[in-house]
Amino acid sequence: MTAFGGFEMPLAYPTGTVAEHLACRRDAAIFDVSHLGTVRLSGPGALDALQATLTNDLGKIAPGRAQYTHLLNADDASVTDDCIVWWVAPERFDLMPNASNTARVRAAVGGTDVTEERAVLAVQGPGARDRLGRVCADAASVGRFRVEALGWNGHPLVVAGTGYTGEDGVEIAVPVAGAEALWGALCEAGVVPAGLGARDTLRLEAGLPLHGQDLGPGITPLQAGLGWVIGWKKGPFRGRAPLEAERDRGPTRRLRGIRSTTRRPLRAGDAVEQHGRSLGVLTSGGYSPLLELGIGLGLLEGTHEDGEAVEVRTRGGLVAGTVVTPPFVALPSER
């Protein structure tokens, strides 16, 4: 167990991080992600409040859908938080910020913090829907980036086809009173419990940024390669002016993937070099259980092509690597 975002969280279960990681890639794993926040906005003004604050355009979707979006710093357009919006009903939105950012997100958009009323269980992997279907067939049928309000054993659920592993699956918001029973039923159906360690190695293999490392103060969506999360065609939103200025002049650094040639894990803070010249630093790093190589994400100055040779200055010395465009491994759509 470890402290994380004000919660005590499982880092790994007895099988270990690598086994949990591979269970998710090959079959199904379950993560307790109740540390994520839930800020609920409801009523006729909820849609306008979100549109005026967050970067993405909810006009692209409709009730019953989910959308990835950013809350920006108004002064420099850096990412204050990256969130998922669950559009549960025409005038109800459940905004899911990162654990430590719930209060600042609520301060920006309004709404009610209902985090302590529910748990959130993420069931992920190529076998996730089959195993979940043995427990709750309706939950297993919720499509990718769809949202549905359901019931299970007398407990109301909100189920979204979202996740943070690169695999297919769903995230389930369940009232606290029903969380333990649902977790137990899913484990009995053969879903493998997985902790924060596997969650991090899975999201890194998938090339998904982590707020506080790959996103955060000083890092804008354009630098992170997430320009698609900006609703340029909608009206004003927080941080739009400085982001437009960066778009017009072009970002001077970009988040890129680095794949090493050895099993030695790469680490956040490792310097990335080329012919003795510093290009930047890794913002995330680790070991890929599928590739059996060190991998990382880093903000690199200038433009660099896939396959370009670089060196990473690790604790154990220089390691040869190449620049790549994540994901590092084949995800379901590529398989």
Domain at 60, CATH number? 3.30.70.1400
Dist CA 129 CA 135 (whole Å): 10
Q: Which residues pair with 322 in a beta bridge?
A: 259, 309
283 in a structural domain: no
DSSP 325: P
Contact 171, 186 (CB under 8 A): no
Reported as half-sphere exposure (CB side, CA atoms, 13 A), residue 132 has a value of: 27
Dist CA 72 CA 217 (whole Å): 10
For 246-265, give the DSSP string: HHHH--SEEEEEEEESSSSP
Dist CA 70 CA 216 (whole Å): 11
Dist CA 198 CA 101 (whole Å): 22
Q: Residue 334 CA to chain centroid, in angstroms?
A: 19
Reported as half-sphere exposure (CB side, CA atoms, 13 A), residue 260 has a value of: 28
Q: Give tens-digit pLDDT for 229-242.
A: 999 999 999 999 99
Contact 40, 111 (CB under 8 A): yes
- Name the region of 217 (left: φ>0; alpha: ψ -120 to 50; beta: rest): beta
302 in a structural domain: no
Task: Find the length of the chain.
Answer: 335
Q: Which of 296, 272, 140 is nearest to 203 (CA)?
A: 296
Note the pLDDT of residue 316.
86
308 in a structural domain: no
pTM of the model: 0.96
Domains identified in the chain, total number = 1
- Only one residue has tokens 């680095």, namely 258
Q: Which of 262, 267, 255, 252 is nearest to 313 (CA)?
A: 267
259 in a structural domain: no
Q: Which of 109, 128, 126 is nearest to 31 (CA)?
A: 128
Note the pLDDT of residue 244.
98
332 in a structural domain: no
134 in a structural domain: no
**With a cut of 70, which residues of the chain have pLDDT below it?**
333-335
For 134-176, give the DSSP string: TT-HHHHTPPTTBEEEEEETTEEEEEES--SSSSSEEEEEEEH
Owning domain of residue 43: 39-95+220-248
Contact 109, 96 (CB under 8 A): no
Dist CA 225 CA 257 (whole Å): 11
237 in a structural domain: yes
Note the pLDDT of residue 335.
58
195 in a structural domain: no
